[in-house]
Structure formats: C-alpha cells, structure tokens
Structure 1
Amino acid sequence: MKKIVLKMAALALLEDIANGQIRRERIFREPEDLLANYDDWLMSRFRFPRPVLLELCAELRPALECHTARSQGLSVPTQVLTTLGFLATGAFQRELADRSGVCQSTLSRAMPAVWDGIIRMSSRYIKFPYNAVEQANIKAQFAATAGFPNVIGAVDCTHIAIKAPSQDEFVYVNRKHFHSINVQVICDAQMQLLNIVARWPGSTHNSFILTNSMVGNRLEAGTVRDGWLLGDRGYPLRMWLMTPLTNPNTDQERRYNDRHSRTRIIVERAIGLLKGRWRCLGRSGGMLLYRPEKVCHIVMACGVLHNVAHRHGIPLPEQHNPPLEEPDAGPVNCNPPRGAIRARQNVISSM
C-alpha cells in the first residue's frame, strides 16, 4: 500500500511539473574560462593574444560590468571574447553561446553593448591627419611605395552584405544586385585606417559618401593645403583628391596612372585585411542578419579593432586574397575645377 501511495505521489509531482504548477530549477553551466587557452588558440578564434584580450577587457570593463548579484550575469571576459568570436568568424549566436556556456538570448543582449563600447574607443584609434606634423610620415611612406608625392590617404568603398531590410528595401540593393551597406575606408600606407564611414545604403555612390563625409567636407573647405587623397575613377578630380587619367597618351601620363594605381591599391588591400580578420564582414560567411543600424555598428567596431591589431603588430592568419572590387562608374556631370586639373598636370610633369 505504501509503495502505491509513493508511486501516485511521484506521478502527481511529475504532472504538476509538466503543467507548470511547480517551477523547474534552472541549471546554469559554468562558462568556460576562454582566457586560459594558449595564444595560438585565442588568435585563431578571437584574433588577439591573451595580453591584448586582457587589455581590451580592462578598457571595456566600466561599460560592461554587470552590477547585479544574479549568478548568471556574464563576466566581462565572456562578453568580450564571445563578441570577438562572432566578429572573427560570423558564426551563429547559438553556436557561440554553446561554446561559451551561456544561453543565446543572454549573448544576444550582451553583444551590442560590447561593440558599442569598442566604438567609443574610436577617437583614440582612428584619426585623420589634418596637420603637417601628422601628414609628414604618411606622405613619406606613400612616396616610398611607388613615388607618388603628397599622399595623405587612399580612399575606397566596400559593400557589406545584409539581409533585405523591412523598410526602404530597394535603396540597399547595390550595383551587384545584393543588399548591402556601402562603407567608406581611408587608410595610410601601412593599411591603418584613418577614417571609416558606415551609414549609407548599398545604392549610394562612392563619391557621394566622400563628399558628404566629415573628411570630405573639411578637405573641400581647405583644411589641408598641401596634400591629397588618392581615389579611383569613380571619384571626381579635386584639389584634394587625385584620380587617374581616363585615356593616358604620353609616357608621363602612363607613369602617372601606374604610380597612382600602385599607391592607391593599398586601400583595397586594407579592406581585404579588414574583411579577412573580421569575417562577419565578408560574403564568405553569408550576410549579416541584423537591421542596417546594427550592421553599421558592427562595421565601426571592426574598424576600431583593425587598428587595435595594427597598433599591436598582430598578423592575420594565412588566407587567400579576396577579389578586388570594380570601381563605381564616374560621377555624373562632374566638371573638375581648373586648379585641380593644373595640380594633377603638375604631378604628371614630375613623373
């Protein structure tokens, strides 16, 4: 009789649990101490060795530290490394959450705080050289590349694939017929980013982005008197922006185009490095499944981290070079200023 009563009580308990009348005890798996691994392992998954990861965690701690006594609050290292794992691989959040021993919804809430914290570091890591002292070393490094004078940066744009947005979907379709954010990158001769603009939909022309950027506005206003950017034929010729000749006829003009190309291609290599290190940005990983606003934040965070890696001299794991992007068609109805034509002719004459 006693066995029957115990059996019935057990069945009743199981029924109450199934009906939700008794709350199940939540079990949390202890997150793995990812920082305990060797540098090679950390580099392959998070792109930084342990000392740099610890430095990042310390810098982001004030913004990320969870002021709660709840046992399931994520530690700062878990938040930072799991977010870096996503940026480095583009893996699904569930896979990253399982690896770190946290639930997917918790990770989803944590990652935006991490990349927003990284973006707040941008003023220290991404700086455009507006004064002569800052420009001198950059000019010398560019000149050493192919002999092109007075270059303070190389500019280009790249498309970051996204899922079709629910609003204004058509403006995000680029000339290659997929949805994207068109991102402007300016770099120096060492492929360090001097400027990154991530806010325009894929259909936006490269030259429009530059003209409406802070760097473009300041250069147009004459902030820099003796230096220029290099852009491909998709950009308009300006006093501060040297572009290639469409139909070079003389040896000097051909040398100009050749040196221009060999110098400007550095920005394409920088974009390849950016996408190769942070593979969530490349199409090899599919597309970013977020709203455009969040994608822009992800891109900006990757730009800051690119320069963090550059500052620490961290190499990229071996990879195949990505295909170069074709330039946009030239700007419509663009009449170069006479001063810009003369400036380019002076450069050609010196070749």
Structure 2
Amino acid sequence: MQVKTAAFEVKFGMTQAFGCVDGTHIAIKRPVENSQDYFCHKNFFSVNVQAVCDSSGLFMDVDYRWPGSVHNGKVFANSSINRKLKSNSLPITFRSVLPGCTKIPNYLIGDPAYALTPYCIKEYSTCSSNEEVIFNNMSHTARNQIECAFFK
C-alpha cells in the first residue's frame, strides 16, 4: 500500500490515493433472458465492468458481474474492493499531511458517478475557490489512468 500511495503522490500529487475506479460497458449479444437488464444508457446490450487500477494503469481489481443497466455507483457499492475497504481488510497507511492535522486514510479516485466516502473521493461538482479548481485538475489527471487502462 505504501508503494501504491507513494507512486500516486509522486506522479499526481494525490496524497494517500492508491488507485482509480471506473466502469466501462462491454458490448454483448442480446441475452435471451432478462435482456432489458443488459440494455445500457449508451443504447446497446452490455455488461458493466468496473475496474480499479494503480498509478501506472495496471489493473488491481476487476468486477464483471453486472448487467449494462446497473449504475457504476451500485456496482461499486456491491463490489469486493468496496467490502475490503469498509472492513479494513486491505493494508492501511494513515498519514498526516501537516503536523497536528487529521490523518488521511487510503482512498480510490472515482468520477462523479461514485458516492463520496472516506475511501472514495471525486471532483467537486462546482468549484468556489482556486483550491477546488486545482484539486479537480489534480484528481482528473490522476483518474485518467483508469480511462486509459480500459483501452491499453
């Protein structure tokens, strides 16, 4: 975990991030049963595949059990990586950015489809300060690793 978080911090300035999470739709032939469940918002039949990658775009976790109509947030809420994060079964390294400040746990970087939790962060939906704009740019750049990983 220390190696993963150190790589994110060096590469993107994101302290304590260890991965990025996103979903993609893999096209399939129309299933005979429950085909409506597999019809996604992109207007084709698919399986919603969620993956987590590290700062180099290497996959660390993949979940491919969900029909295309299922939202990324629901896939993540029911995923094994989410259960591991909630139950603290992954190695944890808490780190304080400034002396005397709250220690930051390890987390994933998600897009706006994901719920904001102590172990999954996302960009601000609207920015009201320069700091928020800078944070959005940093997290967007870091999260781009998962976008690219699907197309490697």
Measured after TM superposition, the shift of residue 272 of structure 1 is 1.1
Q: Residue 199 of structure 1: which of 55, 65, 74 is its match? A: 65
Structure of higher CA gyration radius: 1
**In the TM superposition, what whole-angstrom CA distance separates every residue of 1:89-132 from its partner, at most 9, and x where no partner exists?**
xxxxxxxxxxxxxxxxxxxxxxxxxxxxxxxxxxxxxxxxxxxx
**What is residue 308 of structure 1 aligned with on the other side?**
none
1:152 match: secondary structure:
strand
Would you say the 8 A contact 1:231–1:243 is kept in 2? yes
Q: Distance in 2 between matches of 1:175 and 1:227?
A: 32
Would you say the 8 A contact 1:154–1:186 is kept in 2? yes
**What is residue 116 of structure 2 aligned with on the other side?**
237
Q: Is 1:143 aligned to 2:9, yes or no? A: yes
2:125 match: secondary structure:
coil
Q: Which amino acid aligns with 1:264?
A: R
**Aligned pairs, number:** 139
1:209 match: secondary structure:
helix
Q: Which amino acid aligns with 1:143?
A: E
Q: Residue 220 of structure 1: which of 68, 71, 86 is its match? A: 86
**What is residue 344 of structure 1 aligned with on the other side?**
none
Q: Is 1:156 aligned to 2:1, yes or no? A: no
Structure 2 unpaired stretches of 5+? 93-104
**What is residue 52 of structure 2 aligned with on the other side?**
186
**In the TM superposition, what whole-angstrom CA distance separates every residue of 1:253-289 from its partner, at most 9, and x where no partner exists?**
111101000001101011111xxxxxxxxxxxxxxxx
Within a 5 Å distance, the mapping from 1:7-26 to structure 2 comes to: none
Q: Which amino acid aligns with 1:245?
A: Y
**What is residue 138 of structure 2 aligned with on the other side?**
259
**What is the RMSD of the two structures over their aligned residues, measured on CA atoms?**
1.1
Would you say the 8 A contact 1:174–1:202 is kept in 2? yes
Q: TM-score w.r.t. structure 2 length?
A: 0.88
Would you say the 8 A contact 1:173–1:180 is kept in 2? yes
**In the TM superposition, what whole-angstrom CA distance separates every residue of 1:168-227 from its partner, at most 9, and x where no partner exists?**
000000011100000011000111110000111000110111111111112123345520
Q: Residue 128 of structure 2: which of 231, 249, 272 is its match? A: 249
Q: Distance in 1 between matches of 2:87 and 2:141?
A: 28
Within a 5 Å distance, the mapping from 1:107-126 to structure 2 comes to: none
Q: Which amino acid aligns with 1:173?
A: F
1:229 match: secondary structure:
strand
Measured after TM superposition, the shift of residue 148 of structure 1 is 1.0
Q: TM-score w.r.t. structure 1 length?
A: 0.39
Structure 1 unpaired stretches of 5+? 1-134, 274-351
Comparing both structures, which one devotes a greater share of its residues to strand? 2
Comparing both structures, which one devotes a greater share of its residues to helix? 1
2:150 match: secondary structure:
helix
Higher relative contact order (CA 8 A, sep 6+): 2
Q: Which amino acid aligns with 1:212?
A: N
Query: Identical aligned pairs, as a percentage?
Result: 30
